[in-house]
Structure 1
Amino acid sequence: MKIKDLIEKRAKVWEAAKNFVDTHEDENGVLSAEDSAVYAGMEKEIEDLTAAIDRQQRAEQREAELNRPVNSPLTGKPYMAPEGKEKTGRSSDEYRKAMLNALRSNFRQVSNVLQEGVDADGGYLVPDEYDRRLIDVLEEENIMRRLATRITTSGEHKINIAAAKPAAAWIEEGGALTFGDAKFEQKILDAHKLHVAVKVTEELLYDNAFNLENYIIVQFGKALANAEEDAFLNGNGTGKPTGIFDGTGGGHLLTTLTAALKSDDMLDLVYGLKRPYRKNASFIMNDATLPSLRKLKDNNGAYIWQPAYQAGEPDRILGYKVETSAYAPKDGIAFGDYSYYNIGDRGSRSFKQLNELFAGNGMIGFVAKERVDGKLVLPEAVQIMKLKAD
């Protein structure tokens, strides 16, 4: 079944479920045991359809990535590039081809063009084309890289923040002026090292039919993205970025619930955020939190959860987008404008080959490294609501 058909079917089941509850609740809003079982079946069907939609969307994304041609066909006559615009260094086509040949030959065919990428440890900087495609994978897998503000840094990066602003005041004619102070603070983006390593058999490495380039980029990208997202959400700033759910450097803690979550609590969370930040705000929560939210109604009996009716569109709660992550804490919900979370990438990512470590097993090791930091520069831009512990 196509994604469009699945989405339409889910919408119909959801409408039927809402109508079923509205027509079978007693005066106290309670369903009988038999009706509860019927509603649970409808809800299970919605969850299954949602899982099927997500699965097909991921399959389409993988299919598009795998079908992307490695080489572009020649569609015009050869021409001479204008002077001054020829790609050089790590951006050159020669560097990219030499990098791939070096990987396939266990770095036994290192040419002069590859010497531009040699570092003190014998690692090789990723060509510019590789680095951009790795960023593509990180964006697809990591919700925070899509929502946050990204900065490329060459050293310790300082972000200036207006902590206090002068205020206007009324005075009588001839009265004395009052002077306010403008105070400033700084947030510092440093660089924490993150790496991922894989082993590849020599047979696969030397087999031209094996898409080595795509394999390494996709696997490294997913592993880095998962580790990054965990840190951007939960990191404590010690050896890793500071996450938005961190109790010290994260978002502002609005409230800690002592009872089960209610629709009024979600309203408090939305309107607890200052109006300027609500324009681009969205929710971040764990997938396990959604089932309880989907059952909540407002004072008019309407469900506050609104499923997406178009492919690619996120579900919404109270009109705001919902982002889910397996790394978000199960006892917390964030709501805010995550563009105030700054991600600092320190230079380019790098590849490194391990010649001897797995030589006895007939395998070659590869390591990808990056240096990155992340901080919420304005804690008031994100509000956190802690849920009651089970």
Structure 2
Amino acid sequence: MNKKKLLALIAKKNERKQSLVNQGNTCEDVATLRSINAELDTLNEEIRNLQEMADAMPDDPEGDETNLRTAAVNGDIPGVVVSGAQSQQQRKAQDEEGIEYRKAFMEYVLRGTPIPAELRVDANTLTTDVGSAIPTVLVNRIIEKMETIGMILPRVTRTNYAAGVNIPTSTVKPVATWVAEGAGSDRQKKTTGVITFSKHKLRCEISMSMEVGTMAISAFEAAFVRQVSEAMVKAKEEAILTGNGSTQPKGILTETPVEGQALTPAALNYQALVDAEAALPQAYESGAVWAMSKKTFMGFVGMVDDNKQPIARVNYGINGAPERTLLGRQVVLTGDYLPSYSASLEAGTIYAFLFNFSDYVLNTVYDMGIQRKQDWDTEDLLTKAVMSVDGKVVDKNSLVTLAIPTQG
């Protein structure tokens, strides 16, 4: 058999492989899925052996063989790899890997059907109370979704260090000094410290109605990713601002500001903004933004400075999204994470602050699992998504807070 015929045989076997993958996408019977997977394993072994033989053979002199190889590289022959190139069909096949576990996972979430033990052998679990690990393909989609939504989460520094690792952090910024020509300057000593992340278990409860039990796997996965990512983002953002640091990540407002940067203005007025800007060190002002609720921001709208210029502005970018500023500094709305300004708030309550969000590090371990139970009153299926998260401020010099003053 020459190389041309060998590549043609590989192409036929890959066509059969793709047909089996398509059958697996629509198959709902576990026994049939296992039969399909067994045949796929056999085909993969045969294709791998044939491909090794083809790679070891010299090229045929006919031009048709070259065209066949070009077609394989471009993805026209499903599953064929030539000289390290990967076809589009192979990438699709890889995405479909684990379809049996994904279907079993859907059955577990929607109907409580236990995932077969043989499918859970390689599943990563967080802790002993996690009922099932979320399939890797869904974890990746959840992460991508969380990267694009939220008001605060996209602004912080995100890492995925292992728990217990000491991470060095700089506590001061370097400065330059003038020296005479030919003379040297003292080497600057940059003080460093370390932070250590632990594991705080984040559990977000989502509800999937019994009516979704008949949905296709693609619809189920889309709904699952949307609900989990939105719940996770809300819980993370609230912890980034006000987390207690013991059972949650330590929030920005849980830190004690540098002396002179915890302000208690008598009222929500122009002078409060001026004082806050004055308290912010110049070395940290470039990345700092305002954070407050929309209602608090609207309290500044209409105020003017001594030159009758408005101190608050709302512009609309190319995409039509509002861009809010106070004295030229960007404002990030915090939703209901922060209380809105009111004279009736308890003394010491922080209602607005300045901060460079990149100085906050959120560390996440992306092994995700779920717990499941049923609400007997509504018959809804309550699912808790679980992951490990920790976070800390690594440099608090850009933090300036506005709080209600003590009366008296």
TM-score, normalized by length of structure 1?
0.66
Q: Which runs of 5 or more structure 2 residues have no equivalent in the other structure? A: 1-24, 26-73, 341-349
Counterpart position of 1:314: 323
Shift in Å, 1:242? 1.2
1:379 to 383, 391, 396: 396
Shift in Å, 1:161? 2.4
8 Å Cα contact 2:200-2:388 kept in structure 1: yes
- Bigger Rg, which one: 2
Alignment of 1:71-86 (within 5 A): 77-80=76-79, 82=81
8 Å Cα contact 2:241-2:337 kept in structure 1: yes
8 Å Cα contact 1:338-1:382 kept in structure 2: no
8 Å Cα contact 1:94-1:113 kept in structure 2: no
Equivalent position SS for 1:260? coil
TM-score, normalized by length of structure 2?
0.64
Counterpart position of 1:369: 386
1:348 to 367, 370, 381: 367
Equivalent position SS for 1:375? strand
CA distance in 2, matches of 1:308, 1:165: 33
Counterpart position of 2:212: 204
8 Å Cα contact 1:261-1:387 kept in structure 2: no
Equivalent position SS for 1:348? strand
Counterpart position of 2:122: 116
Counterpart position of 1:334: 353
> Structure 2 vs 1, CA of residues 251 and 243 (structure 1 numbering), >3 Å: closer, same or farther?
farther
> Structure 2 vs 1, CA of residues 99 and 126 (structure 1 numbering), >3 Å: closer, same or farther?
same
Query: Does 2:249 align with 1:213?
Result: no
8 Å Cα contact 1:150-1:344 kept in structure 2: yes
Alignment of 1:46-125 (within 5 A): 77-80=76-79, 82=81, 92-96=95-99, 98-104=101-107, 106-107=112-113, 110=116, 112=118, 115-117=121-123, 119=125, 123-125=131-133
Shift in Å, 1:337? 1.5
> Structure 2 vs 1, CA of residues 96 and 168 (structure 1 numbering), >3 Å: closer, same or farther?
same
> Structure 2 vs 1, CA of residues 117 and 377 (structure 1 numbering), >3 Å: closer, same or farther?
same
One-letter identity of the residue aligned with 1:116 = D
Shift in Å, 1:307? 0.8
Task: Provide, for residues 338-360 of structure 1, a one-character-per-residue CA deviation record: whole Å limited to 9, x for no partner.
Answer: 10100000232223445xx6689
- Please report the RMSD computed on the Cα atoms of aligned residues, expressed in angstroms: 4.0
Shift in Å, 1:151? 0.2
Task: Provide, for residues 46-86 of structure 1, a one-character-per-residue CA deviation record: whole Å limited to 9, x for no partner.
Answer: xxxxxxxxxxxxxxxxxxxxxxxxx9xxx974522546977
One-letter identity of the residue aligned with 1:280 = G
Equivalent position SS for 2:321? coil
Counterpart position of 2:164: 156
One-letter identity of the residue aligned with 2:170 = A
1:192 to 193, 200, 210: 200
CA distance in 2, matches of 1:312, 1:251: 34
Counterpart position of 2:251: 243
Query: Does 2:236 align with 1:228?
Result: yes
2:333 to 308, 315, 324: 324
> Structure 2 vs 1, CA of residues 304 and 194 (structure 1 numbering), >3 Å: closer, same or farther?
same
8 Å Cα contact 1:252-1:383 kept in structure 2: no
Q: Percent identity?
A: 19
8 Å Cα contact 2:238-2:337 kept in structure 1: yes
Counterpart position of 1:275: 282
CA distance in 2, matches of 1:358, 1:169: 67
> Structure 2 vs 1, CA of residues 96 and 243 (structure 1 numbering), >3 Å: closer, same or farther?
farther
Equivalent position SS for 2:160? strand
> Structure 2 vs 1, CA of residues 182 and 281 (structure 1 numbering), >3 Å: closer, same or farther?
closer
CA distance in 2, matches of 1:265, 1:360: 50
Counterpart position of 1:264: 271
8 Å Cα contact 2:200-2:249 kept in structure 1: yes
> Structure 2 vs 1, CA of residues 180 and 243 (structure 1 numbering), >3 Å: closer, same or farther?
same
> Structure 2 vs 1, CA of residues 200 and 389 (structure 1 numbering), >3 Å: closer, same or farther?
same
Q: Which runs of 5 or more structure 1 residues have no equivalent in the other structure? A: 1-70
CA distance in 1, matches of 2:406, 2:146: 32
